[in-house]
Amino acid sequence: MQKPTLSQIAKQLGLSTATVSLAMKENSRISDQTRARVKEALRESGYVYQRSAAGLRKSKTDTVGIVLNNVSDPSFSEILRAIEGELAKEGKTVFLCNTDEKVERQSEFIRKMSEYNADGIVLVPAMGTQATDLEEMKKFSPPIVCVSREISGYPIDSVVADETIAGYTAAKHLLKLGHRRIAVVGGTVNISPFNRRMKGIRQAFDEAGQEFDRALVFECRPVRAQGYEAAARILDVEDPPTAAIGYNAIVTLGLKAGLQRLGKKIGVDFSLIANEGIDELQHSNPPLSTTSIDLQEMGRVVIQHLLSRISDPTAPTKLTLIPTELILTDSVSPHR
Amino acid sequence: MQKPTLSQIAKQLGLSTATVSLAMKENSRISDQTRARVKEALRESGYVYQRSAAGLRKSKTDTVGIVLNNVSDPSFSEILRAIEGELAKEGKTVFLCNTDEKVERQSEFIRKMSEYNADGIVLVPAMGTQATDLEEMKKFSPPIVCVSREISGYPIDSVVADETIAGYTAAKHLLKLGHRRIAVVGGTVNISPFNRRMKGIRQAFDEAGQEFDRALVFECRPVRAQGYEAAARILDVEDPPTAAIGYNAIVTLGLKAGLQRLGKKIGVDFSLIANEGIDELQHSNPPLSTTSIDLQEMGRVVIQHLLSRISDPTAPTKLTLIPTELILTDSVSPHR
């Protein structure tokens, strides 16, 4: 005889599965009477709830924590959608944390997820997260996979965009169009991909025999408002740039709006290349060129890594680079 | 003698508070040796960990769940920031859920938060959430406060914008400027504020002795991409509108980009009024007029309500309307 499922029992009793589940755990929010009814039905059906298992370290809670540095960044919504889709197939519930780039909030959330015996954690490390922060957590944390940013000097599974190539192809294209004064906007040396990106950009300049001007690097938090505000600073330098490469999608969208406010015509007298592959880049005016990355794929790979790590905690750590592709629109044109 | 705090003990032992906390709970991820050291230090210090309390229904876990319909909507980031700030003062950790407008995902998260004995839940109900969905949850859920949207026909604490006034003032202003064909973009009858808003808009038309054309209501999910796509439909009607009122900030920003792509000059040959008070409305080109709401204040009120509800579960439920204010920019101009 097939053992009945929890939902069959719930249906039989006219209760929700949530109520049955809580009654089984003798949660006091469920009335004594309902708890007794559930107990009786379970006994009759031969359903065995392995209550003792729930407290064990090895037990699965089917919960995964996802830690985002900036919950309003639409590129993460896209990765999230992929992650949630993959995890739904596995019957796992997602708990999110918005660190707002605060390392302590990140630690506190991971600690709580540990206490709740989460199966694993996906982490976009807050700016300035150190190897020591993770080392500390290793003692109690469930498996962690980093996405979008790495923790330098710390062995942890990571899935990041191939930023060196992204920077290289964007700069190479602008150089080919005759631009020499190229600004780089957003990100800081506190975020790992920034350094990869700069490496690629410098390489393109070297190959073209051009000198890269460090004064045209405008570091800032990669958010829309800071891109907007950077516009004035960019146009204020002596011999101002005629093109810019944005660190991510939103900082570039902010920069675009800021430049337009100051009278620049994007794709006519100023060329702009963004990063990441969110829809909004195509839904802006003009649509923005981008070193695009398949965010859905990125989310899928992250979950593959996390599931492997959960099933084999001692395997060597892996770094996966997701390829990027230069997608050109009317936002870039030859230097004139 | 003052009892030592957990962090003092951690410091004394050269451990993190997280490790001490887990050791106290005899979590098996902490080595036997460390657990013994912590136990000894606690015994010596006279620190008493009320372990039994942790399992009780009434115990506080200092965790609050926040359920968002669309985690990438920047207006929620602003409310979130306020909520997280208030909760941090109370020492509470925030767990987020992104329902992506899916009612089942919402139920599943609330169930998990219940099992984890969360102190409370802040809910932006997914589109189509019914009174019966909440009735079901009432049996086990911690206190819930709704924000931004209500559940019609269900008594639950709610904090929403005063949408009737928002719709009324926006429509009245456009009518005063001579616009007669005014489109309404975004939202659906499945979201409670939509109906309040429509009431205010109709009232303004009635007072002006003008007829409101229901064919100019373009319902859609209130997200950027759908606003962008609505632009073509709006301009395709016979006797097309010369102005539009957007349901929220992002749908209006999408609409703006879409209209611009189709050659419309916002504030010159098409007037646009958004809703909500996010920065991006001012960082766009042109900055957008908006029926603005103080999102920080909204977040603050939500947490006030939640804390009151936690301390008095039987008090009558409250609906708080947050006032809106029409903020005008160059995005609106007289009909010509």
Contact state of A261 with B139 under an 8 Å Cβ cutoff:
no
Q: Which of A115, A121, A132, A253 to mutate to test the interface with B (most CBs of B within 10 A)?
A: A115
Q: Does the beta-carbon distance from B109 to A96 stay under 8 Å? A: no
**What pLDDT, in 10s, does the model give residues A158-189?**
999 999 999 999 999 999 999 999 999 999 99
Nearest Cβ partner for B28 among A57, A115, A136: A57
Going along chain B from its start, the domains and CATH numbers come out as 6-49 (1.10.260), 63-161+295-324 (3.40.50.2300), 163-293 (3.40.50.2300)
Q: How far is B29 from chain A (nearest CA, A)?
A: 5
pLDDT at B251: 97
Mean pLDDT of B269-277: 96
Summarised one tens digit per residue, pLDDT across range B24-34 is 766 767 778 88
Query: Which tokens belong to B25?
Result: 């709970």
Q: Chain B residue closest to A14 (CA)?
A: B136
In chain B, residues with a C-beta closer than 8 Å to the C-beta of A57 are: 27-29
What pLDDT sits at residue B1? 37
Instruction: Check residue B42 and give its pLDDT.
Output: 74
Does the structure show a pLDDT above 70 at A52?
no
Six-digit token pair at A79? 């990765």
The string of pLDDT tens digits covering residues B46-77 is: 554 443 334 344 457 889 999 999 988 999 98
Q: Confidence class of residue B302 from pLDDT cuts 50, 70 and 90?
A: very high
A136/B283 Cβ within 8 A? no
Q: How far is A176 from chain B (nearest CA, A)?
A: 28
Give SS3 for B272.
Answer: strand
Q: Among B29, B93, B100, select the one facing A57 at the smallest CB separation.
A: B29
Closest CA to B75 of B169, B155, B193: B193
For A6-20, A177-191, A239-253, B122-136, which range has the lowest pLDDT when averaged over its residues? A6-20
Sequence-separated (6 or more) residues with CB below 8 Å from residue A14 = none
Task: Read off the pLDDT band of B41 (50, 70, 90).
Answer: confident
The residue type of A33 is: Q
Q: Are B185 and B222 in contact (CB under 8 A)?
A: no
* Predicted confidence (pLDDT) at residue B21 exceeds the cutoff of 80: no
Q: Residue A302's closest CA among A98, A191, A158, A109?
A: A158
- Decide if B280 and A225 are in contact by the 8 Å CB cutoff: yes
pLDDT grade for B40, boundaries at 50, 70 and 90? confident
Q: What's the distance, Cα to Cα, between the start and end of chain A in Å?
A: 80
Distance CA A34, CA A18 (A): 12
User: Between A233 and B151, whose confidence is greater?
Assistant: A233
Which residues of chain A have a CB within 8 Å of the CB of B67?
A: none
Main-chain dihedrals φ then ψ at residue B175, nearest 5 degrees: -65, -40
Please state which of the ranges B20-29, B113-122, B246-255 shows the lowest mean pLDDT.
Answer: B20-29
Distance CA A138, CA B71 (A): 29
Mean pLDDT of chain B: 89
Using a CB-CB distance cutoff of 8 angstroms, which residues of chain B are in contact with residue A109? 93, 95
What percent of chain B is modeled with pLDDT above 90? 67
> Which SS3 state, helix, strand or coil, does residue A311 take?
helix
Q: Band the pLDDT of A53: cuts 50, 70, 90.
A: very low
**Residue B271, min C-alpha distance to chain A (Å):** 17
Distance of residue B127 Cα from the nearest chain A Cα, in angstroms: 18
Of A18, A114, A279, the CB nearest to B140: A18
CB contact under 8 A, A74 and B71: no
Nearest residue in B to A20, CA atom: B140
